[in-house]
């Protein structure tokens, strides 16, 4: 075997916690040219000639003294790398550092994070990209070339020399040229002179209150003003020669920002990275981000991990939206990933929203984020209305307060009116007429509901029809509607407002945009269509139902749903908030969600609940959980709730700890998980004992 004297440090792509560290291999001479940091490799693993996939993290000179980066060097005989899968270094040093840190702070695996960062390879796409790079290098070998020949030259490196940055000249906007987009000097005008520009140039960290109104795009749809702000932030970043990453909770939000960028951003400068798109498209967008030219990267929560040439800004829209938290281990929230990446890269950070998450409030109070508000303090006219039955019998049936009904009737003469409701469907919950208990599916115990007015009741979980249902409690056979859905509300409103066009928008009937004609729009929270020019009135019904959920976050969530809907109102239009009083109503009518977030945070401090502290759940066999908890005894600022039994053989404990102890707690628990995973074996011969493995989950939003 030919050796080059170089050692490759490789991360094995495996979910096993005991493999989550670097392995050393030698580099055969014939692979030396391609074996650079970041490439995918195949390496022999597990003795008998089998190979594993991995990423080459770094190449070190075996002869040179220890560089210091390597932990506990391996001193046996090194196996050679089997193959370099492709010459494209997909895992940039910056993203590797980020993935390692994100995994470490939650006792997780780096390869689980890398799976979010690096999409599956597509050979055809990659070949086309490499060819395009080579062709571009041929045509224009200058350093400012947006498509350089060698991807290696793309490594951002904090000290990238100035001449490599493209000049301030801006290519033509991609949008239609006959309609002027917002003039450049109007950029950020709502925020006062230079505040946001300066933040980008000086790489500040901000919590920015979005302007709660709509923007009519020339020859296009209306979009939220916030989307315009994000697009302007991204373009301003690009003009400083740096990359901007925009992280949006869902694709409807991404579409709005995309519309703004179509008009504002230079042609070809935007990459949309989104797990929703087909794999080849996803990989193509990923490779574009890998190029040496700064870009605008637009995507969902995993966009925070995109490779970026000279990162200048990470901006998140609506960080309180639960879609920002990752459902896959190690469950990192994109806000946390953004905070870590901001710290590592020194880029600017913007959390933009109509409301304020309690987590963002904590960062503001720490001084980590600076607050920015629009200079002109115009906000929606929100009117909290205690319930007062309407005179109109139909409005009463549709549970619309009297004042709201009158407002809606007037507004419907001018344009669309939004009615926000809690539940989709027609009647999502049925109850027994006799005993009033919830009607349950006889097969799976799921809740029964009606899909439409005359439909047969069916289970909302398993779909089974409940044609001849009998109540398990009282043997009754007659249903009563317990919860009213958007469909039923629409039916009732149809009677209350005869002759008005009724539009339903929910998960099953998604509607993105709407004209300015009068219509009554019934929408579930988060599914509100965007009307040209804004709604002439907004009715926020079902306030009590939204607050009835059993969660620490109900208040914060409700404020988010309401303020996002209120921001769709036309200037001067009334926003009627039904059945809600107290601090929430005050936060809405004064349009100051910070005050509510601050008092929530104060409560959490009192209770020692997240985000005042961090928390992790530890689940497993009682002995394993006890052993893991014992490891935490020495760490200051840690307390433990439980363990308590959950599903029969397993117990769960909740560990709470100060942010400053996070690394120690994560380190100790990770060590325990590794030990547990290595030891767990099925005993031979004897009956099959299910091997319960120790599970650890940090910062679970469902906790507590």
Partner DNA sequence: AGCACGCCGACT
Partner DNA sequence: GTCGGCGTGCTC
Interface of this chain with DNA, residues 359 to 378, rule: CB under 7 A: none
Integer CA distances (angstroms), 204 to 50, 57, 165, 194, 301, in order = 49, 30, 21, 13, 21
Interacting residues of 197 by C-beta distance below 8 A, sequence separation 6+: 187, 188, 236
CA 2 from chain center: how many Å? 47
The yes or no reply on residue 67 touching DNA (CB under 7 A) is no
- Nearer to DNA by C-beta: 50 or 376? 50
Give the span between the Cα atoms of 433 and 471, in whole angstroms: 9
Interface of this chain with DNA, residues 537 to 566, rule: CB under 7 A: none
The yes or no reply on residue 19 touching DNA (CB under 7 A) is yes
Segment contacting DNA by CB under 7 A, of 258-266, 301-309, 349-357, 677-685: 677-685
For 164-205, give the secondary structure using H, E and C. HCCCCCCCCECCCCCCCCCCHHHCCHHHCCCHHHHHHHCCCE
Please, what is the minimum distance in Å from the beta carbon of residue 688 to DNA?
12
CB atoms < 10 A from the CB of 646, how many?
12
Per CB under 7 A, the list member of 2, 15, 18, 120 interacting with DNA is 18
The yes or no reply on residue 45 touching DNA (CB under 7 A) is yes
Identify any residues that bridge with 173 across adjacent strands, giving them in sequence order: 266
The yes or no reply on residue 413 touching DNA (CB under 7 A) is no
The yes or no reply on residue 453 touching DNA (CB under 7 A) is no
Give the span between the Cα atoms of 690 and 355, in whole angstroms: 46
- Nearer to DNA by C-beta: 378 or 679? 679
The yes or no reply on residue 690 touching DNA (CB under 7 A) is no
Q: What is the largest CA-CA distance in the chain?
A: 91
CB atoms < 10 A from the CB of 475, how many?
10
Please, what is the minimum distance in Å from the beta carbon of residue 684 to DNA?
4
The yes or no reply on residue 689 touching DNA (CB under 7 A) is no
Per CB under 7 A, the list member of 4, 6, 11, 25 interacting with DNA is 25
The yes or no reply on residue 44 touching DNA (CB under 7 A) is yes
The yes or no reply on residue 46 touching DNA (CB under 7 A) is yes
Segment contacting DNA by CB under 7 A, of 96-104, 114-122, 442-450, 674-682: 674-682
Give the span between the Cα atoms of 577 and 562, in whole angstroms: 8
Please, what is the minimum distance in Å from the beta carbon of residue 18 to DNA?
4
- Nearer to DNA by C-beta: 28 or 446? 28
Segment contacting DNA by CB under 7 A, of 17-25, 264-272, 457-465, 644-652: 17-25
Per CB under 7 A, the list member of 2, 5, 15, 16 interacting with DNA is 16
Interacting residues of 85 by C-beta distance below 8 A, sequence separation 6+: 39, 40, 41, 42, 53, 121
Segment contacting DNA by CB under 7 A, of 14-22, 112-120, 333-341, 349-357: 14-22
* Tokens (6 digits) for 284: 């193509």
Instruction: Answer whether 261's CB lies under 8 Å from 296's CB.
Output: yes
The yes or no reply on residue 226 touching DNA (CB under 7 A) is no
Please, what is the minimum distance in Å from the beta carbon of residue 31 to DNA?
14
- Nearer to DNA by C-beta: 219 or 678? 678
- Nearer to DNA by C-beta: 46 or 413? 46
The yes or no reply on residue 684 touching DNA (CB under 7 A) is yes
The yes or no reply on residue 678 touching DNA (CB under 7 A) is yes
The yes or no reply on residue 679 touching DNA (CB under 7 A) is yes
Strands 40-44, 83-84: pairing kind: antiparallel
Closest CA to 497 of 394, 380, 649: 394
The yes or no reply on residue 140 touching DNA (CB under 7 A) is no
Instruction: Answer whether 290's CB lies under 8 Å from 307's CB.
Output: yes
What sections of 367-475 are H helices per DSSP? Answer: 393-397, 402-411
Handedness of CA 362, 364, 365, 366 (dihedral sign): positive
Segment contacting DNA by CB under 7 A, of 16-24, 480-488, 534-542, 546-554: 16-24
Binding characters for DNA, 68-87, by CB under 7 A (x = yes): ------x-x-xx--------
Give the span between the Cα atoms of 203 and 196, in whole angstroms: 10
- Nearer to DNA by C-beta: 16 or 193? 16
* Tokens (6 digits) for 217: 């795009």
- Nearer to DNA by C-beta: 674 or 696? 674
Give the span between the Cα atoms of 515 and 509, in whole angstroms: 17
* Tokens (6 digits) for 583: 């601090």
Q: How far apart are the first and last CA of the chain?
A: 57
- Nearer to DNA by C-beta: 47 or 177? 47
Binding site for DNA (CB under 7 A): 16, 18-19, 23-25, 43-48, 74, 76, 78-79, 678-679, 681, 683-685
């Amino acid at each position: 075997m030919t050796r080059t004297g170089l050692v490759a440090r490789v991360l094995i792509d495996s979910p096993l916690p005991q493999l989550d560290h670097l392995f050393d291999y030698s580099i055969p001479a014939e692979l030396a040219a391609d074996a650079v940091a970041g490439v995918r490799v195949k390496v022999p693993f597990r003795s008998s000639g089998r190979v594993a996939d991995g990423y080459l993290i770094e190449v070190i000179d075996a002869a040179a003294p220890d560089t210091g980066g390597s932990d506990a060097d391996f001193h046996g005989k090194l196996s050679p790398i089997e193959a370099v899968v492709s010459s494209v270094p997909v895992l940039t040093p910056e993203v590797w550092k980020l993935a390692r840190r994100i995994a470490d702070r939650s006792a997780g695996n780096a390869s689980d994070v890398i799976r979010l960062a690096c999409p599956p390879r597509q050979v055809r796409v990659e070949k086309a990209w490499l060819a395009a790079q080579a062709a571009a290098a041929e045509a224009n070998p200058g350093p400012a070339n947006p498509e350089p020949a060698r991807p290696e030259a793309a490594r951002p490196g904090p000290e990238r020399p100035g001449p490599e940055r493209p000049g301030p000249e801006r290519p033509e906007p991609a949008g239609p040229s006959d309609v002027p987009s917002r003039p450049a000097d109007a950029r950020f005008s709502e925020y006062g002179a230079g505040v946001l520009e300066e933040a980008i140039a000086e790489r500040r960290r901000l919590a920015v209150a979005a302007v709660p109104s709509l923007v009519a795009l020339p020859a296009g749809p209306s979009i939220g003003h916030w989307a315009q702000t994000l697009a302007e932030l991204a373009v301003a970043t690009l003009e400083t020669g740096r990359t901007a990453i925009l992280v949006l909770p869902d694709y409807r939000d991404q579409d709005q920002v995309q519309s703004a960028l179509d008009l504002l951003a230079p042609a070809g400068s935007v990459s949309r990275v989104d797990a929703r798109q087909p794999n080849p498209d996803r990989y193509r967008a990923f490779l574009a981000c890998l190029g040496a030219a700064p870009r605008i990267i637009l995507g969902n929560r995993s966009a925070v991990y995109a490779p970026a040439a000279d990162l200048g800004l990470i901006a998140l829209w609506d960080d309180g939206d639960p879609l920002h938290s990752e459902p896959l281990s190690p469950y990192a929230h994109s806000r946390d990933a953004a905070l870590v990446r901001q710290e590592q890269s020194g880029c600017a950070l913007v959390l933009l929203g109509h409301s304020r998450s309690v987590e963002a409030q904590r960062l503001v109070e720490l001084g980590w984020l600076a607050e920015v508000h629009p200079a002109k303090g115009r906000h929606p006219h929100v009117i909290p209305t205690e319930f007062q039955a309407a005179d109109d019998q139909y409005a009463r049936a549709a549970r619309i307060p009297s004042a709201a009904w009158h407002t809606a009737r007037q507004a419907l003469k001018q344009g669309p009116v939004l009615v926000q409701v809690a539940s989709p469907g027609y009647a999502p919950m049925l109850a027994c007429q006799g005993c009033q208990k919830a009607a349950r599916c006889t097969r799976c115990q799921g809740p029964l509901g009606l899909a439409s007015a005359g439909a047969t009741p069916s289970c909302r979980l398993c779909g089974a029809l409940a044609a001849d249902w009998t109540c398990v409690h009282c043997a009754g056979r007659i249903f009563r509607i317990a919860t009213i859905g958007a469909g039923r509300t629409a039916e009732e409103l149809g009677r209350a407002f005869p002759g008005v066009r009724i539009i339903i928008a929910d998960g099953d009937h998604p509607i993105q945009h709407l004209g300015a004609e009068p219509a009554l729009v019934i929408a579930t929270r988060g599914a509100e269509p965007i009307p040209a020019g804004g709604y002439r009135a907004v009715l926020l019904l079902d306030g009590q139902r939204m607050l009835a959920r059993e969660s620490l976050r109900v208040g914060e969530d409700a404020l988010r749903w309401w303020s996002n809907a209120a921001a769709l109102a036309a200037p001067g239009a009334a926003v009627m908030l039904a059945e809600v009083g107290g601090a929430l109503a005050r936060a809405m009518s004064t349009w100051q969600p910070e005050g509510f977030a601050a008092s929530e945070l104060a409560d959490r401090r009192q209770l020692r609940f997240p985000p005042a502290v961090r928390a992790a759940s530890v689940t497993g066999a009682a002995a394993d959980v006890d052993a893991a908890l014992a490891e935490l005894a020495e760490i200051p600022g840690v307390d433990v709730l439980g363990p308590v039994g959950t599903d029969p053989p397993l117990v769960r404990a909740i560990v709470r700890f100060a942010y400053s102890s996070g690394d120690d707690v994560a380190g100790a628990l990770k060590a325990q998980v590794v030990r547990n995973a290595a030891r767990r074996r099925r005993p031979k011969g004897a009956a099959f004992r299910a091997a319960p493995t120790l599970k650890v989950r940090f910062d679970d939003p469902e906790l507590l």
